[in-house]
Structure formats: structure tokens, C-alpha cells
Amino acid sequence: MTAASGPLRSASDIAAGVRTGELSALEVLDDHLARIALRESEIHAFNHLTEEAARAAAADIDRRVAAGEDPGPLAGVPVAIKDNLCTSGVPTTCSSKILEGWLPPYDATVVTRLAAAGAVAVGKTNLDEFAMGSSTENSAFGPTRNPHDTTRVPGGSSGGSAAAVAAGFAPLALGSDTGGSIRQPASLCGVVGVKPTYGTVSRLGLVAFGSSLDQVGPFSTTVADAALALEVMGGHDPGDSTSLPQPFPSVSDHLDDGVDGLRVGIVTEMMGEGIAPDVAARVRAAADALAAAGAEVDEVSVPAVAFGLSAYYLVAPAEASSNLARYDGVRYGLRIEAATTGEMMELTRTAGFGDEVKRRIMLGTYALSAGYYEAFYGKALKVRTLIRRDFDAAYERFDVLLSPTSPTTAFPFGDKTADPLQMYLNDICTIPTNLAGHPAMSVPFGAGDDGLPVGVQVLAPALGEVAMFRTAAALEAAAVPVAATTEGSAS
Ligand code: GLN
């Protein structure tokens, strides 16, 4: 294998070069595999690499280009896939021991669509077990490290995907976002991450966590790449009953529209208590940059978002406790044999699930149980409605909202593992969007006092992706990039 010598290119640049025959998909792949070989043992972004299948796919792309065909808008683009998205015949573990040995019989729709557009899957990325967490420290296979500082977490739950993009292992990666699992790691790793409007991207083949909240979305180094990926993956899928019967909003066409006259509201409740001053300062700098580009910026109160975390930690565990009931030792993966079926299930679930997953199952089962349902789950649903209403009121006056993505920059390993609540507090700015079903994205906007990346969150109303991406593109143009080291420490 040759050393990683090529420049780090965006997905759009790679696809443009491969489609014209200027770049070879196989060479592009080898370059990324070389970068993986150099640094993966230190980063641990992947649970599983699919080098051989990737080589075959890349060679096929090159053959098709040589034959005069167009392999599609992502021709030859290496892509990393979060290990809770089904890949036919390729291990899909959710970073849990309970799925040990299970091979999905089909590809997730998003995986199929990326491949059909010419993308080349390089492997499955690490996550917090079943996407429950904010640091990848809940993975049964060990944590992923942040490429900017390997003593720090990459965020989570899609930490492997965020780190893969930040380390130059792939220009594009897929994640899932139930309460912030795309946006928060994107923020901590200094890359772009998008949670699209609920229903715009298929979840067929996404292992379910909280079904009323889960969405699939991209990680990339540029705003344009995220737009391209969503346009390829999004749009109606008859195999997902929550899929909206319409194409993904056409965002790429509007990236150069600018923000002149766009009304931008800074969310008051997401700028005070719990937010590190250096992070809040970056959000204010982002707002200033947007104002300088012609946007009308003001503060706006969205009062009910203050209850987002409390509502989420009833709704999400309730849905998880139901979704995870299927791992019973009969249908998937791990089975610990025992004298009776009941005992077999108990032993299997005890051995197969980690502590955080068990905590969520117990929380959810409790919240749904007779006598507590109204007081907990029912109440949380009412709060969810209030959050949506407060956002609706804000969006009568503003086209998009602005906030920090994460309250701090990347934190050291072990910092928040002793107290689950401290870990949960990572998501105070991201969770309300999931409860509302709205889109939101994290855009890198410089560094905090520690020199580590800070992400600014752009929030928009349902199907407001065009305004959201216009804002993100303007922020990208104004931001000072924070480069992750993509070389091994030896070089
Ligand atoms: N960190 C949040 C949780 O632990 C969100 C996770 C996610 O979005 N999948 O539930």
C-alpha cells in the first residue's frame, strides 16, 4: 500500500474528478486506506473494515467511467457507515455484545442509495452501545479517540463516524441522531453534521432506538458535501412508514444564496447556565458574522426547551425499552443457553447489554408501567407538544435559530462516566430539535480556549433545510478552520 500522499479532498471534489476520469476511484480509496492504516490503531473509529469489498466497488467505478458511463454524484467517494445501519452480510453490532455474530440479510435504504450514487463503503464505525451516550465510552469494543486530541472523547453516539471524517479516513460518513448523536460529535471533532427533518431520510435498516426521534444524517468536511449526501439519501421510501412522500428539499442549489435579509434568532435559553463562556463567545461571533453578511440577528426566548432533557429521558428510554425487547437470545446474535427459555433470555440480556443500555431499559419500563404512565410518559408527551409550540412561535419571527451545539469542547475520557446526568447534559442544546421533529446542523466555527473545535448549531422549522443550509454556508465562509492532524504522530 502506498503512503497517504494525496491531499484531503471533499466528497464533491472526489466525485467530480472520478466522473471525468481525472481521478481513479481505486487510487482515492487506497489513499484513504493508507490514512486509516497509519492512524486507526490510535483512533479506533471503526468496528469493522470492508477493504476487499471497497476495492471491488472502486474498481467497478473506474471500469464504468472508462466505458463512458456515469457512476453518479458520489462516484468513488469513500464513505464510513455507523455500525447501527444494516449492511448485508457485513457485521452490524451497534457496538453491543448482544448482536455478536449477527449478519443482516439486507442493506439499509441509505446504504443502498449511497452505493447506487457511486459511493464506496469502507467500514462500520464505532458508537455508544445502541446509540446511547455522548462520548463512545459506552461501546462494548472500547472508545474512539478524538483526532484533534487523543486524550479527549470524540463525542457520541456517532463518535466513530465523526472521528473518521476528522481524521481523513473518509470524506463522508453516516450517523444517526436521536438526541444529538450526529451534531454533538460533529461539533467536538470539528466537522459538519446534519440531523434532517423527521421523515425526510429513510430509517429502513437503521437499528431502532427511539423511533419517534431517530433520524439518519451525514458527516462531512464541507456544507456542500452534507447537502449532496442528503439529496442522494433522502426522499420517499415506501419501506419506512414514517417517510414523507416527497423528495429531499433541493438545498445544493441555494448554498450561494447568502443570508441577506434572513432573520436569525439566538436562543436565549441555550446561551446561559451550563454553557461554557468560550463556546457562547463563538456563537456570538457566528451571529456577528451572519449580521455582517446581511442577516437580521436578534435574541429569542424558546422557554419550553428548558424541559427538553427531562422529557427526552422519559420518551427515549420508553421507546428504547420497547424496541430493545427483540434482543431475546432467540432472533438475533448472542444466546446464553439455560434450562428454561425464561432463564436463557435473562442470562442473554444480562450478559449482552452494557450498563447504560440496562439503565435506559429500566427507566423506560418504569415510565410506561401502570400507575406511572400518566405521571411520567404522558406528561413528557405534553411537554413535547409545548416545545414544538414554542419553536413554532419563534419561527413566526425568525427563519433560523442559532445556539451552541454542545455546551463544551471535547472533554477528557472518564470525565463524565461516573455520573450519567453529567453525560446527559451534553445534549441540552440538541435534544429539543428531535422532540420537535425539526432539522438542525452543526457547523465548525473556530476553537475554544483549549484550541479544540467549537460547533455552532443552526436550527430550522420542519422542512426548513434550505434556510438552514444557506446559514451554514455563510458560517462556513466566515469560519477559521481548526485543522485536525491527519498524520500519525511519528510524522
Ligand atoms: N446522547 C443522547 C443519548 O444518550 C443522544 C443519543 C443519540 O442521539 N442517539 O440518548
CATH assignment of the domain containing 41: 3.90.1300.10
pLDDT at 485 over 90: no
* pLDDT (tens digit per residue) in 90-103: 999 999 999 999 99
pLDDT exceeds 80 at position 2: no
Give me the percent of the chain exceeding a pLDDT of 90.
95
- Asked if residue 177 is part of any domain, the answer here is yes
Please tell me the chain's helix, strand, coil percentages from 3-state DSSP, rounded to the nearest 5: 45, 15, 45
Asked if residue 348 is part of any domain, the answer here is no
| Residues 84, 131 contacting (CB under 8 angstroms) | yes
Q: How far is the CA of 427 from the centre of ligand 1 (A)?
A: 8
Residue given cell 472518564 in the structure block: 414
The grid cell for 401 is 435559530
Cell of 434: 428531535
**Could you report the per-residue pLDDT of 156-191, keeping only the tens digit for each?**
999 999 999 999 999 999 999 999 999 999 999 999
Q: What are phi and psi of 476, to 5 degrees?
A: -60, -40
Catalytic residue among 24, 82, 161, 202: 82
Provide the domain limits for residue 431: 11-304+388-478
Whether 237 is in a domain gets the answer yes
Mean pLDDT within 378-396: 97
> Which grid coordinates belong to 443?
457547523
Residue (of 484, 482, 473) closest to 286 by Cα position: 473
CB atoms within 10 A of CB 369: 12
pLDDT score, position 432: 98
Q: What is the pLDDT of residue 482?
A: 79
Test site for ligand 1: of 129, 130, 153, 157, most ligand atoms within 8 A of the Cβ: 157
- Segment 191-207 shows an average pLDDT of 98
pLDDT at 4: 58
Task: Determine the pLDDT at residue 197.
Answer: 98
pLDDT in tens, 253-267: 999 999 999 999 999
H or E segment and range at residue 347:
helix 341-352
Q: For residue 97, what are the contacts with CB-CB under 8 A and spacing of at least 6?
A: 140, 334, 351, 352, 353, 354
The residue to mutate among 309, 427, 435, having the most atoms of ligand 1 within 8 angstroms of its beta carbon, is 427
Give the pLDDT score at 481: 76
pLDDT at 491 over 70: no
pLDDT, tens digit, 9 for 90 and up, residues 110-132: 999 999 999 999 999 999 999 99
Query: Which DSSP string corresponds to 144-167?
Result: --BTTBTTB---SSSHHHHHHHHT
| Ligand 1 atom closest to residue 426's alpha carbon, by position in its atom list | 1
Question: Ligand 1 atom 5: the closest Cα is on which residue?
Answer: 179
Q: Is residue 332 situated within a structural domain?
A: no
User: CA 181 to CA 166: how far, in whole Å?
Assistant: 16
Percentage of the chain surpassing pLDDT 70? 97
The pLDDT confidence band at residue 151, using thresholds 50, 70 and 90, is very high
- Give the Å distances, CA to CA, from 10 to 169, 257, 470: 12, 21, 19
Residue 487 has pLDDT above 90, yes or no: no
Q: Does the annotation count 211 as an active-site position?
A: no
- In this prediction, residues 47-76 reach a mean pLDDT of 98
Active site annotation includes 82? yes
Q: In the predicted model, is pLDDT for residue 72 greater than 70?
A: yes
**Could you tell me the distance, in angstroms and rounded to a whole number, from the CA of residue 371 to the centre of ligand 1?**
27
Taking Cα atoms as reference points, which of 41, 29, 131 lies closest to residue 80?
29
Find the catalytic residue in 12, 24, 96, 181: 181
Is-catalytic flag, 181? yes
pLDDT tens for each residue of 29-50: 999 999 999 999 999 999 999 9
Q: Which residues line ligand 1 (CB under 6 A)?
A: 131-134, 157, 177-181, 209, 316, 427
pLDDT category of residue 7 using cuts at 50, 70 and 90: confident
Q: Is residue 336 part of a domain?
A: no
Alpha helices in 221-269 (DSSP H): 223-233
More confident residue, 484 or 447: 447
Instruction: Please indicate, yes or no, if residue 20 is contained in any of the structural domains.
Output: yes
Ligand 1 atom 10: residue of nearest CA: 132
**pLDDT confidence bin for 486, thresholds 50/70/90:** low
- Domain count of the chain? 1
Q: Who's near 275: CB < 8 A, 6+ residues apart?
A: 404, 407, 429
Q: Which of 12, 96, 134, 157 is catalytic?
A: 157
Confidence tier at 88 by pLDDT (50, 70, 90) = very high
pLDDT for the residue 302: 98
Instruction: Indicate whether 111 belongs to any domain.
Output: yes
Does some domain include residue 102? yes
What's the pLDDT at 480?
A: 76
Q: Are 438 and 464 in contact (CB under 8 A)?
A: yes
The Cα 34–Cα 54 span in angstroms is 13
> Residues 340-358: pLDDT tens digits?
999 999 999 999 999 999 9
Which band of pLDDT confidence, cut at 50, 70 and 90, is reported for residue 139?
very high
The atom of ligand 1 lying closest to the CA of 209 is 9
Radius of gyration over every alpha carbon of the chain, rounded to an integer in angstroms: 21
